[in-house]
Structure 1
Amino acid sequence: MSDFILYEQDGPVVTLTLNAPAKRNAIGSRDECEEVVAACRRIERDDSVRCVIVTGADPAFCAGGDLKSMRDRSGMMSGQGPASMRENYRRGIQMIPLALYDLNLPTIAAINGPAIGAGLDLALMCDMRIASDKALFAESFIRVGIVPGDGGAWLLPRVVGMSVACEMSFTGDPLTPEQGLKVGLVSQVVPHAELLPAARALAARVAKNPPQMLRMTKRLLREGQHTRLDTLLEMSAAFQAIAHETADHKEAVDAMLNKRAPNFTGE
């Protein structure tokens, strides 16, 4: 392993930092993809985690794919022929959206710098996005003669709408932080020095809530993007039946009625 991902936990909040600043945190090898996936699996197994922040080591959030690997046909780009390249994607970069987007906990992308190509898609895999005033966003696959290979064509329209997604994808033109805020790509733009404090403050607001209800709410929001209303209502009724029987639900009601701060245990 290359220590591409730094895994830090502070109470119920885990921060994952892409840690290859010399190459602007570009993702160029299967090992790097596997580190991201392994971090997500570690989080899934840890009931103490209630929220996750994903960020990059300055100066970039993630520059996307490694252009040198593309040029040299090395790392994830190695092998001969279309069949080999298809498997490189399936066993490499495409493992990340399957792990991160489907993570059963609320996630926040703290976008500290340029998020380009696969780097933008990485941010889109998160539930919430906060940007530094040094951020930049580009769905730039077209600029290097390829197509979105890691789920961007599915993720981007769901965040910014089809028209903006098409404009970004067909031109490859970047958006500034202010433009990203305007189209709903991010919910906040803050001064660079305030980015992680802002992300941690949002994570704290999330993490103070009952952990099992956070997980079930996340699942309902995810399923609601592609299922029928009647199916989602059935799932909601089942989840609600579970929620009503938890100690955390009873604690929440008692705390609200008695005007005190609740203490949630995940029970």
Structure 2
Amino acid sequence: MSNPVLVEREGALETWILNRPELRNPISDHDVIDALVACAERVNRDREVRAVIVTGAGPAFSAGANLNQVRSEEVPFGGPLSYARDGYRHGIQRIPLALHGCEVPLIAAINGPAVGAGFDLALMCDVRIAAESATFAESFVRVGLIPGDGGAWLLPRAIGLARATELTLTGAAIDARTALDWGLVSRVVPADELLTTARSVADLIAANPPATVRMAKRLLREQDHQSLGSHLEMAAALQPLAQRSADHSEAVDAILAKRPPVFTGL
């Protein structure tokens, strides 16, 4: 069986490629879950990685679930439903926890359909850039399921409760231009420009002090369940760390000297 997630490294940038194109890159298989979680944990420890692009091999970003695998693990009627709960908790739900906790900025380069859990995978990323061929569907209800991987938490934060409710309860798909209009993605580009555009955004992120970028991402991640007062307290605790870093001094020195900065992560 092929490697479920290919990892390509170029300098401070990694690209994670979902690598089951013949199945439209499902993420419910255990080896895919393990691979994505391992990637997130690894880059958290690797201070040299400054940005990650997540994309799919072939024409699809991700179809979400492998329905054949889901059916084969179905709990029989009358069976212990607690096993199914544990299956989610120790299975696909590990992905949103790992990616939400990933310190490195994640850029979804959405090259085609992002369906169900595949849509939710895109929502787990910090920046979303779509090819013109991309489509999005929170399609769980159409197969008699609910979003079990965090979609009902992630989607309203991306596009607001009204639109998230419409997509979740209808299971309908939207195209890339609608996604842009709704603020779901930040850019829509021709398919042959998708990875180039994603890399240009990644390069802009990677050009900044890496420790500061990780702290800024943490502030953005925490704000959605903090009061303003709690958020300001967290910022007050993190800002002195940034101010005393060598990269902050280098940034100021470079501005005053009118030269490009050289950041080390220190």
Q: For this structure pair, what is the TM-score category when the shorter chain's length is used for normalisation? A: over 0.9
Return the TM-score normalized by structure 1.
0.96
Instruction: Look up the SS of the partner of 2:185 in the other structure.
Output: coil
Q: Deviations over 1:179-218 (max 9, x none)?
A: 1101011010100011000000100011000000001000
Contact kept in structure 2, 1:16 and 1:53, CA below 8 Å? yes
Report the equivalent of 2:98. Answer: 99
Instruction: Look up the SS of the partner of 1:243 in the other structure.
Output: helix
- Paired residue type of 1:158: R
Report the equivalent of 1:66. Answer: 66
Provide the rounded CA distance (Å) in 1 between the counterparts of 2:53 and 2:75.
31
The worse-fitting range, judged by mean Cα deviation, of 13-22 and 77-86 is 77-86
- Paired residue type of 2:27: I
Provide the rounded CA distance (Å) in 2 between the counterparts of 1:98 and 1:14.
20
Q: Deviations over 1:71-98 (max 9, x none)?
A: 3x24xx4675421111111111000000
- Paired residue type of 1:129: R
- Paired residue type of 1:177: A
Report the equivalent of 1:22. Answer: 22
Q: How does 1:162-177 map to 2 (within 5 A)?
A: 162-177=161-176
Is 1:45 the equivalent of 2:45? yes
Report the equivalent of 1:9. Answer: 9
Is 1:153 the equivalent of 2:131? no
- Paired residue type of 1:219: R
Stretches of 4+ moved more than 2 A in 1?
77-81
Deviation at 1:31, TM superposition (A): 2.2
Is 1:193 the equivalent of 2:192? yes
Contact kept in structure 1, 2:75 and 2:81, CA below 8 Å? no
Provide the rounded CA distance (Å) in 2 between the counterparts of 1:215 and 1:28.
28
Deviation at 1:29, TM superposition (A): 2.0
- Paired residue type of 1:169: T
CA RMSD of aligned residues (A): 1.3
Report the equivalent of 2:85. Answer: 86
Return the TM-score normalized by structure 2.
0.96
Q: Which runs of 5+ in 2 are unaligned?
A: none
Deviation at 1:257, TM superposition (A): 1.3
Report the equivalent of 1:262. Answer: 261
Deviation at 1:27, TM superposition (A): 2.2
Is 1:56 the equivalent of 2:56? yes
Instruction: Look up the SS of the partner of 1:225 in the other structure.
Output: helix
Provide the rounded CA distance (Å) in 2 between the counterparts of 1:20 and 1:69.
14
Mark the CA change 1:2 to 1:45 in structure 2 (over 3 Å): closer, same or farther: farther
Report the equivalent of 2:35. Answer: 35
Instruction: Look up the SS of the partner of 1:126 in the other structure.
Output: coil
Q: Which runs of 5+ in 1 are unaligned?
A: none
- Paired residue type of 2:18: L
- Paired residue type of 1:60: A
Deviation at 1:101, TM superposition (A): 1.7
Report the equivalent of 2:127. Answer: 128
Report the equivalent of 1:234. Answer: 233
- Identity, in percent, stands at 53
Equivalent pairs counted in the alignment come to 264
Contact kept in structure 1, 2:2 and 2:19, CA below 8 Å? no
